[in-house]
Copies of this chain bind each other. A is one copy, B any other.
């Protein structure tokens, strides 16, 4: 697998534009464009700067490259999931061998007090999930729900939504979002 495609899929998975990533990384958008198109082979220092804007280490970057040499992996051990955690919420992505995935299937853990941020989330697509442990508060389009172990949900992601754990035990959630550009 080549560097360009890999960078692009990681960038899109993080929901960043070329310009946005370029600004965070301290390079120009044209640099990122050309790297993703494989019209240049970036220097180590450049790639390092770019990845710092994601953020991601060189090790992680090339580890992912290795893993997708095995394009037909079907089963994933817990330790094989990709960590895309954001803040206090840990999020682990299933299906690392599928760079152009249609579904972001996640294992998420919300410690007591954790949430997805003050702002309500809105994006295209649909999402579903099931709580496997603890209790979790879900707000969708102004309605507040409390999920308990075994409860599940499904809604259009365009509706403003937010997850919060105001309880005193960690909540473990299995979720799926499509498309995967969240």
Per-residue B-contact encoding for A14-51, CB less than 8 Å = 1, 0 else? 00000000000000000000000000111111110000
- Cα(A44)–Cα(B46), bound, Å: 10
**Dominant secondary structure of chain A at its interface with chain B:** helix
| B45 pairs with A44, CB closer than 8 A | no
Q: At the interface, yes or no: A158 with Cβ under 8 Å from chain B?
A: no
Interface size class of A (residues with CB under 8 A): 10 to 19
22 A–B contacts, CB within 8 A, in A order: A3-B44, A40-B43, A41-B43, A41-B44, A41-B45, A41-B46, A42-B43, A42-B44, A44-B44, A44-B47, A57-B62, A57-B66, A58-B62, A58-B65, A59-B59, A59-B62, A59-B63, A59-B65, A59-B66, A61-B62, A62-B62, A63-B63
Using CB atoms and an 8 Å cutoff, list the residues of chain A in contact with chain B.
3, 40-47, 57-59, 61-63, 65-66
